[in-house]
Structure 1
Amino acid sequence: MTNTRKWLMILILPFIFASSSALAAFADNLSHVCEKSSGSIIKVYAGLGAPAGSSPFKQAADTSNDGDQCSEIPDAYRINIYKFGTCTADPFAANDFSTCSYFIDSEAPVVHTIQGVGAPTPLATTGVIAPGTYGYGFMILDNSLEVKHTQTYDTAMFSNPDGGGIVSGTTCWSIAYTTTYGGFDPALRDNGSVTSTGIECGTAADAAPAFTKEIFDSMGGGFGEEAFTATDATSYTQPSGDSMKAKLLQADNISVATGFGDAKRIFARVDFATDKVVTASSKFEIKFKLTDAVSVDSGFDGANQYIVKMGADPFQVDVVVTD
């Protein structure tokens, strides 16, 4: 008899960069799917928020709530994976991977693009998982996450793509651009604002979306809120009972980052609530899924509503095991 089971590894990336005091706020933020006028067209409300106009969207699940961003399923989401595997002992505290077995263990990144609610092609693995009982799953990936998306609104929105001049339209799309999560790099600190957007707005016929990159440069709050933090102080417990922690590493995939300048990798570890058993006959199918995995953020200059950037939100990894 064929036995099929699933390992659910939810890498909830915004959570792993949030300080413990911010976890609840992030959890609420991730549910902000905005109200639509029809199909995928987002409704825009003038005058909402404080100051008036700063929060032009209403949450679909509760239209009494307004906000300045909409969580959507992106057209494409791209990640660069260096290591992906399972371990018999916890690799997190000392970055010790001596008990680990790998789906991927590569000096060069394995590039994977996720589209819709699943991956269009299987993940290109470079190894196999040895038979055994594993209590932990982990992934090390580039700390630059990329999204590509086009969004339509029922009202013309403004943009200033890469600071090159103000344009507007009801269709807005991502451009080749870089923003940071915490704003620690002074050269990129103003990116994703009304003066320089990672978005271009115009007509649907003009849309030419490209991947926009968000660099996760701290595990805590943003610049001016708290100092650079490499390791999240808490773990996030998933509905399955699994728990996740994460830290930022340097480019050698093992040394803990000392600041935004040498932070090059995300190391996310999942502590399984139930150990995972791999046999000699186990076969694996790895699927990546997206839910509301892009945050489309707005800005307001006192007169006009802008779409300023697209931020990378959660993705989910399903490892389906068949014996």
Structure 2
Amino acid sequence: MKTLNLNKIILLATLFLAAIAFSNSANALCVVNGDGAIVIASGDSETPVKDDTTTDDYTALDATTDCLITPDIYKLNIYKFGLCTADPDLNDLSSCQMFFESAAGIELDIQAGVSATLPIPEFYIEPGTYPFLYVQLSSKLGMQWSGRFSNDVDGSSGDGNGGTYCWTSNAGSRASSYPDNGAAFTTAHGTSLAQNVKTMDCGTAEGTVVTTYEALTKFSQTNCSSNLAANGDKSTFAIEGTGTTRGIPTVNLLTSADAFATTCANAAKIAWTTALSTSYVVTEDSTFAMSVKATAANSLEFSDGDDNDILLIGSGAPRIYLTVTD
């Protein structure tokens, strides 16, 4: 058994959560007016909003059914966080050194201007070169958001009962993919809301904001009537990020027992691997800082019918950064 010298242990206080770079509605990707209100069409519209960023399948400022914002609070539950010398995306963590592992997970409330120390034990990372960053987190993500629109919007209170203020209003959990009929179904995190349940409400004044949740049940763009693709619906994305955490991300869905998930019903965790552009080099004297950033990647989604109904806020990918300092 390895004997660790205390002067080579990086103590709890050096690993911290920094809530950085949150946007408010005025800085979000939904198009806003001079008062910071999200611009929405007056009256009924099948495409009521606009987004200010061009993507592969959207041209900036085209009328559409959804646009991107940053949540006011993002809730994450992280089970594992570490560095690996070999690619762990096939669920082999034998090459990984963990800053922490928690069976219950460590819940983080990410919000602007708030930092917190993570309640984890002392840890030791073997000196070496690490080309992979690994994070395992719950597939159930919580969000709080409130904002203002340029014209009236209807939420869960029904037609004609809305207003220019909207907020997350349902503490239940939606699924990212549903069976064909859109009915509520049993997920790894309990029974989901039915697909047609609105989780946003609106009114003539600010309402009571609650945390609403989304369980990521599938990455591929198909419904839950078919099983997940191989290796937990494995998906690899284009290179992203900046600085020391720039790299190519790969995500897999896992069961609660850390095996690859096979269906929407047993998808409990996300395994997130980043193949780093520049490897971390750890020495005996290294210190570490972890920061989490919620980006403008959460979608406000509206009905595609001829109305002014807002349906939900969809989850987006947070960014988890690690800084290693000698």
Q: Structure 2: which amino acid aligns with 1:80?
A: N
| Equivalent in the alignment of 2:176 | 181
Q: CA deviation at 1:200?
A: 1.1
Mapped partners of 1:296, 1:79: distance in 2: 19
Residue 92 (structure 1) aligned to one of 86, 89, 95: 89
Residue 76 of structure 2: aligned partner:
79
Aligned equivalent of 2:219: 219
- Alignment of structure 1 residues 266-305 onto 2, 5 Å: 266-302=270-306, 304-305=307-308
> How far did 1:182 drift?
1.6
TM-score (norm 1): 0.78
Moved over 6 A (4+): none
Where does structure 1 lack aligned partners over 5 or more consecutive residues? 1-30
> What SS does the aligned partner of 2:265 have?
coil
Letter in 2 for 1:309: L
> Is this contact kept in 1: 2:177–2:264, CA < 8 A?
no
Q: Which amino acid letter does the alignment assign opposite residue 307 of structure 1? A: I
2-side partners of 1:158 and 1:129: how far apart? 52
Instruction: Give 1:84's aligned amino acid.
Output: F
Matched, 1:55 2:47: yes
Distance 1:169 1:263, change over 3 A: same
Structure 2: how far apart are the matches of 1:97 and 1:131? 17
Gaps of 5+ in 2: 1-26, 54-58, 186-191
Looking at structure 2, the residues matched to 128 and 167 of structure 1 have their Cα atoms a distance apart, in angstroms, of 56
Displacement, 1:113?
A: 1.2
Q: Which one of the candidate residues 143, 149, 162 is aligned to 2:145?
A: 149
TM-score (normalizing by structure 2): 0.78
Whole-angstrom CA distance in 2 between matches of 1:321 and 1:64: 40
Q: Counterpart in 2 of 1:265?
A: 269
Match of 1:317 among 299, 310, 320: 320
Asked if the contact 2:82/2:133 (under 8 Å) is kept, the reply is yes
- Contact 2:292/2:318 (8 A) holds in 1: yes
Number of the residue aligned with 1:236:
238
**Aligned in 2, Cα 1:300/1:90: closer, same or farther, shift over 3 Å?**
closer
1:190 and 1:215 mapped to 2: Cα distance?
10
**What is the distance in 2 between the residues matched to 1:75 and 1:239?**
22
Q: 1:301 to 1:146 in 2, by over 3 A?
A: same
Q: Is the 8 A contact 1:181 1:222 kept in 2?
A: no
